[in-house]
Amino acid sequence: MAEQDCLLPVYDRLPVSFERAEGCYLYDEDDNRYLDGLAGIAVNLLGYRHPRLVDRLRRSATDVHHVSNLFQIKEQEELARRLSEIGFESAAFFCNSGAEANEAAIKFARRYSGRFGSGGKKIISFENSFHGRTLGALSATGQKKYQKGFSPLVEGFVYTPYNDLAALEEEMDDQICAVIMEPVQGEGGVLPASAEFFAGVRRLCNKYEALLILDEVQTGMARTGEYFCYQNYDLEPDLVTLAKGLGGGYPIGALLVERSLREGLQAGEHASTFGGNPFVCRMALTVLDVIEQEQLLASARARGEQLQTGLQELAQKYKFVDEPRGVGLMRALPLADQIEASELMRSALDAGLVVGVAGENALRFVPPLIITEQEVEELLSILDKVLQEN
Ligand SMILES: Cc1ncc(COP(=O)(O)O)c(C=O)c1O
């Protein structure tokens, strides 16, 4: 029996195993080098072996690594304060992943509505959205392909088209307790919300007293050139969910709730054994320090523009490549039907470049935020060669 048969076959894995990594480069068993344009799908913000993260990890070896949330955890309090300072005045609940952060948000919205609101339990989500694989998050995900075979799903979710305010308004009533949206639909193809739509969603949530939950699991933590993607727009959310980049590769998720709403969930109503343990909070605090010290917000904007310009040039050069889209260091390059993004992803891998796919048929670029100007050039030049050969 092959060792792989000891795993559930839920992933369509590529035939490469990375054995070491440094900065923005990964190395396989034969020491072939790959430029990382994916960062473990928007996770490894500081790349690999970042000295600050390594140093914090070393020092953590003998510190208390885990205690139950039955006790005070200073690192958790500090992380909650720091997240509040870089965004909106919030209170945090920590968990371990994006799906769990969204589960917490769904539970919060329903409990809050029962306790302080209309008692309505319905949640509006958008078509083509992605919120995770656990049953609640999956029920919020507006894509049938992910839900197929898992019914009965959690009741009470309604889906309307993204960037369509009129359709949303038609569904709004006093039974809606929340609207959940990604500021940029990530898995759905890196599709940003228009400013009018986003402002309209906020307005409708106010009008119908529904909570606005922003799923910033992929867009959060400086990826779009601001700590939170909503900061590129002129509005504030009620709830924000985070994961992916928050721990720079160490698993942590968070639900942030506007502080005046924090009594919506009370002691005993939600919990996580591992959520926000001292170890992972230390790593997340270090990620925040480095984002600030290395000015990674500005980098995400500058390198994002550079990437966008380069991708635009490729779109002009190759007929089967459409206009790139995205924000900051979250970009997609849509391809015409005759070319399969997943095949191109494999060709890129053979050529020493790791990229992902998203949406219908697009390549996805979510590199580490520490990527340099030269490395973006290299990424574009490898991609150019790969496109030329197809
Ligand atoms: C926007 C968004 N929400 C939620 C999730 C689920 O996160 P996780 O895989 O950590 O559960 C993802 C993962 O891709 C995501 O992109």
Contacts 24+ apart (CB under 8 A), 10-18: 14/346, 14/349, 16/349
Tokens standing for residue 42? 């928007």
pLDDT tens for each residue of 235-274: 999 999 999 999 999 999 999 999 999 999 999 999 999 9
pLDDT tens for each residue of 155-176: 999 999 999 999 999 999 999 9
Q: Is the pLDDT of residue 111 over 90?
A: yes
Please report the atom of ligand 1 found closest to the CA of residue 102.
Answer: 4
CB of 216 closer than 6 angstroms to any ligand 1 atom = no
pLDDT tens for each residue of 321-363: 999 999 999 999 999 999 999 999 999 999 999 999 999 999 9
Extents of the domains making up the chain: 3-51+295-388, 63-293
Best substitution site from 128, 217, 229, 242 to test ligand 1's pocket, by max atoms within 8 Å of Cβ? 217
Distance of CA 129 from the midpoint of ligand 1 (Å): 10
CB of 212 closer than 6 angstroms to any ligand 1 atom = no
Give the per-residue pLDDT at 33. 98
Q: Is the pLDDT of residue 194 over 90?
A: yes
Please report the atom of ligand 1 found closest to the CA of residue 134.
Answer: 11
CB of 97 closer than 6 angstroms to any ligand 1 atom = yes
pLDDT tens for each residue of 281-310: 999 999 999 999 999 999 999 999 999 999
Please report the atom of ligand 1 found closest to the CA of residue 132.
Answer: 6
Owner of token pair 């150019």: 384
Q: Which CATH class is domain 63-293?
A: alpha beta
Give the per-residue pLDDT at 82. 98
What is residue 105's three-state secondary structure? Answer: helix
Give the pLDDT mean for 115-140: 98
Q: Is the pLDDT of residue 390 over 90?
A: no
Burial of 336 (0-12, 13-18, 19+ CB in 10 A): exposed
CB of 183 closer than 6 angstroms to any ligand 1 atom = no
CA distance 182 to 130: 8
Give the per-residue pLDDT at 25. 99
Tokens standing for residue 70? 């039955």
CA distance 343 to 361: 10
CB of 37 closer than 6 angstroms to any ligand 1 atom = no
Give the per-residue pLDDT at 1. 78
CB of 243 closer than 6 angstroms to any ligand 1 atom = yes
Residue 223 binned pLDDT confidence (cut-offs 50, 70, 90): very high
CB of 218 closer than 6 angstroms to any ligand 1 atom = yes
Query: CATH: 3.40.109.10, 2.140.10.10, 3.30.70.1350, 3.90.1150.10. Which one for 3-51+295-388?
Result: 3.90.1150.10
